Amino acid sequence: MKLKTIIVLSTALCVSAVGLSAQEAKQMEQLQQQLRQMQEQFEKQQELQRQQIEGLRKQIEALQKNQAAASSEQEKVRQMMERPIAAAPPDTAAGLGKKPWRPTDPLRVFGGQQSYMNISFDGLFAMGGSTARDIEGGTQLGGHDPTQRGFTLQNLELTFDGAVDPYFRGQANVVLQIDSAGETIIEAEEAYLETLSLPGRLQLKAGQYFTEFGRHNPTHPHTWGFVDTPLVNGRFLGGDGLRNLGARASWLLPTPFYSELFFSVQNGHGETAHSFRNGHEGGPFLGRLHTVNRVTSPGDFIFTPRYAASFELTDAQTLLLGASAAFGKNGSGPDARTQLYGVDAFWKWKPANHSGGFPFVSWQTEAMLRKYSAGAFNWDLNADGILDPGEQDGDGDGVADILPRELLTDYGFYSQLSYGFRPGWVAGLRGDYVTRSRQAVYEALYGDDADRLARWRVSPNLTWYPSEFSKIRLQYNYDRRDRVGTDHSLWLQFEFLLGAHAAHKF
C-alpha cells in the first residue's frame, strides 16, 4: 500500500513538471521531501522484515538440525540394544542381544564390544505386628526380617552383574536399609567375580560373597519362600548370614548326575562371621566377652567345604541333597574354635505340562549342628582381684567369676513346604526348631541364655505373584520360646522388582 502511494505521487510530480508557478514549485518541493521520507521509511521497513525473515529461517534450520541429531541418537541406542554380543561367553550372554529389547528384559549397559552389565533393583517391605516385646533380635533373628510394629524396609537391593570379559563374570549386590531408629544403612552385601572358562570343570570365585553353606544362607531375601530367615540360620550364621571376603574353588565331578564340591576360604572376623571371630559389639556372647584381632595367620580364616548333588527322580521330580561344614576360630579365647555342620535337602514336583511353572510342590529342609568351644574367661576384667562395676559375680561370693573352658553344642532345623496351587498363587508352611544340648556352666551362674534356649515356630503363609516382578505375601508366625512364652506375629510383605536379574523363577 505504501509502495502504491509512492508510485502515484512520483507519477503526479512527473506529469505536472511543466509550467509551474512559485507556489506550485514550493508545493512540489514539499511533495518531493515527503516522497524521500516515505522512501526511507519503506527501505527501513523492508530491511527490518528481511532481518525478521532471516531470523525465522535460522530458527527453523536449528530446530531441523536438533531433530535430526535426536533421531540419530535414538537410532544409535536402538542399534546398541539390538547388537549381538558375538564374543561374549556362551552361557551368560548367548542370544541375549539377538532379540529386540522388551520392557521385561534386563536393563543392560554395554561396555565396548564384548561386555555388558545388567542392573536391577528390588524393593522389599513389610508391615504388621507381633505380641512380642522384643521383636528385633527376639522373635525375629534375621537382619532383613520385619523388625518392628508398623512398617519395615527389609531391603532395597541394587544388583549389578554381567560378563566382564570372556574369562570372568562379575556380580555386586548393594543393599540399603532403614533401621528401626530411622537411620539409613548401606551394606556391600556381595561383590565378586567368577571364572567362566577354567579347564578341568573347575570354577573360582573371589571377593565378598555369601558362604555356600546350606541352601538358605547364600540367597537374598527377595528369593525366600517366607517373610523371615529360619531360626537355625539366624542363631548359628547370624542375622546377616555367613559372608565375608575370600575365595572359593568348586569342582564339577564327572558323574552322570549333577555333583559338585565346593571349598571356600574367607576372613573369619566381623559381624558377618557370627559364630566365628566376632566381637559381638563388645557385649557378652555365650557368657563371655569376645576379643578379635585381624587375620594374623591362615588359622584365622573360616574354611567351608560343601558337597551338593541332584537327581532327576522322574520327568517331574527333582531331588537335591547337600552337606556343608564350616571351621574356624572364635573370639572367646586364644585357641577357641567353632565347628558348624549342616545337611540340606530340596525336592520339587513340577509336571511336564506345567504352565509358567505352575502347579508345583517343593519341600526344603536344613539341619545344623554347632560345636562352640568357648574359652576359659575371667570376669575380673581389670585383674585387680576386686569386683568392679561391669564385672560378673553370678554365684554372689563377692569375687568376679572365672568360667572354665567348655564345649557348647547347639542344633536345630527348619522344614518348609510350598504349593503353587494355581498360576501366581503359592501356599507355604514352615516349621522351625532350635535348641541346646545341655545347660552350660555360665548359664547355671547367670541364667539360661536366650541364644541357646529351645524354641519352635510354625509359619503358614500365602503369596500372590501378580507377575514375576512383584509379590504380596501374608504370613503368620506362632512362636514358642522356653522361659519366654508364646508369641503371635502377622506380617504382610510386598515387593517390586525392576530389571530381570532378580525375577522370580517357578
Q: Could you list the residues that contact Ca ion (CB under 5 A)?
A: 380, 382, 384, 386, 388, 393, 395, 397, 399, 401
The full DSSP string for 40-82 is HHHHHHHHHHHHHHHHHHHHHHHHHHHHHHHHHHHHHHHHHHH
Measured from the CB atom, the residue of 315 and 397 that comes closer to Ca ion is: 397
3-state secondary structure of 498: strand
| Min CB(408)–Ca ion separation in Å | 20
| Min CB(403)–Ca ion separation in Å | 10
| Min CB(450)–Ca ion separation in Å | 22
CA distances (Å), 23 to each of 12, 29, 225, 386, in order? Answer: 16, 10, 112, 135
Measured from the CB atom, the residue of 46 and 382 that comes closer to Ca ion is: 382
Q: Cα–Cα distance between 135 and 494 in angstroms, integer?
A: 19
36 Cβ neighbours under 8 A, 6+ residues apart: none
| Residue of 124, 171, 130 lying closest to 143 (CA atoms) | 124
Residue whose entry in the numeric block shows the C-alpha cell 524396609? 153
| Min CB(275)–Ca ion separation in Å | 27
CA angle 302, 306, 309 (to 5 degrees): 170
| Min CB(375)–Ca ion separation in Å | 18
| Min CB(279)–Ca ion separation in Å | 21
Measured from the CB atom, the residue of 100 and 398 that comes closer to Ca ion is: 398
| Min CB(378)–Ca ion separation in Å | 9
Measured from the CB atom, the residue of 19 and 396 that comes closer to Ca ion is: 396
Work out the burial of residue 215: count CB atoms within 10 Å of its CB; fewer than 13 is exposed, 13-18 middle, 19 or more buried.
buried
Measured from the CB atom, the residue of 240 and 401 that comes closer to Ca ion is: 401
Specify whether the CB–CB gap between 265 and 246 falls below 8 A. Answer: yes
Residue whose entry in the numeric block shows the C-alpha cell 549342628? 369
| Min CB(383)–Ca ion separation in Å | 7
| Min CB(445)–Ca ion separation in Å | 8
Specify whether the CB–CB gap between 349 and 312 falls below 8 A. Answer: no
Measured from the CB atom, the residue of 105 and 380 that comes closer to Ca ion is: 380
Which of the 8 DSSP states describes residue 359?
A: S
Which of the 8 DSSP states describes residue 134?
A: -
Q: What is the CA 278 to chain-centroid distance, rounded?
A: 24
Measured from the CB atom, the residue of 54 and 384 that comes closer to Ca ion is: 384
Measured from the CB atom, the residue of 61 and 395 that comes closer to Ca ion is: 395
Intra-chain end-to-end CA distance of the chain, in Å: 82
Q: Cα–Cα distance between 43 and 41 in angstroms, integer?
A: 5
Measured from the CB atom, the residue of 157 and 401 that comes closer to Ca ion is: 401
Q: Cα–Cα distance between 33 and 253 in angstroms, integer?
A: 109
